[in-house]
Chain A
Amino acid sequence: EDKVVQSPLSLVVHEGDTVTLNCSYEVTNFRSLLWYKQEKKAPTFLFMLTSSGIEKKSGRLSSILDKKELFSILNITATQTGDSAIYLCAVSNFGNEKLTFGTGTRLTIIP
């Protein structure tokens, strides 16, 4: 059975801090790993990673995948209160038409 585990489950930091969120996975026929941000409603897409070692970057957010060690990290620098959300990690595999989501990390930024 495919499994995605995120850590920490929750994180509280002060505005301006840098955070690193972790996602490890066990899937057969891995295809991609995705990061989403969820603020009370539907998840919004952040990144899709398919290759090891290639950093994806969008503003203060960046992510990288390690397919050998089966994990990914999501970094957020100079955090702002608007970054407070649940961050979800999901994986897809070849031959299976669905995403498997992790438990999520609840990030809270204190002003």
Chain B
Amino acid sequence: GAVVSQHPSRVICKSGTSVKIECRSLDFQATTMFWYRQFPKQSLMLMATSNEGSKATYEQGVEKDKFLINHASLTLSTLTVTSAHPEDSSFYICSARGRGGWVEKLFFGSGTQLSVL
């Protein structure tokens, strides 16, 4: 099956620093990437949707200047948490959809646990 690689799996950083999370599709072209955030004991909340070569579409309440999403190629999307604060500590997961694929046919990355001290 299709594979989505997400790195790093875990990151601990000081408050005020920026953190970049990468999501790569290894054996298919990911035309659309979805970025989710999951707080402890809560469900996946969609943060933004990005299509290759276009600006990301952010969900209501998600700050686009704080969560920078780049989807410059068909195999790579990045999420940068700028000036991270303790309240940004969460589990971040990407998922990818290939060309012409239904939204149900998503392939998830393994997630990144971000802890901001």
Interfacial residues, chain A to chain B (CB-CB below 8 A): 31-32, 34, 41-44, 48, 88, 90, 92, 96-104, 106
**8 Å CB interface, B31-67 against A:** 32, 34, 36, 41-46, 49
Judged by a CB distance under 8 angstroms, whether B30 is at the interface is: no
Total count of chain B residues near the partner, CB < 8 A? 21
Q: A103-B43, A106-B41 are in contact. Are A98 and B103 (CB under 8 A)?
A: yes
CB distance from B106 to the nearest CB of A (A): 7
- Nearest 8 CB-CB pairings of A with B: A42-B108, A101-B44, A101-B43, A104-B43, A103-B43, A41-B110, A42-B110, A41-B111
Closest to B97 in A: A97
Assembly CA distance A43 to B86 (angstroms): 25
Judged by a CB distance under 8 angstroms, whether B98 is at the interface is: no
Q: 10 pairs across A/B with beta carbons < 8 Å? A: A31-B104, A43-B93, A90-B44, A92-B103, A97-B32, A97-B97, A99-B46, A101-B36, A101-B44, A101-B46
Is A48 a contact partner of B103 (Cβ separation < 8 A)?
no
**B residues in contact with A98, CB < 8 Å:** 34, 46, 49, 103
CB distance from B101 to the nearest CB of A (A): 10
Assembly CA distance A98 to B45 (angstroms): 11
Is B104 a contact partner of A43 (Cβ separation < 8 A)?
no
Is A88 a contact partner of B44 (Cβ separation < 8 A)?
yes
Assembly CA distance A96 to B104 (angstroms): 11
**8 Å CB interface, B53-111 against A:** 93, 97, 102-104, 106, 108-111
**A residues in contact with B32, CB < 8 Å:** 97
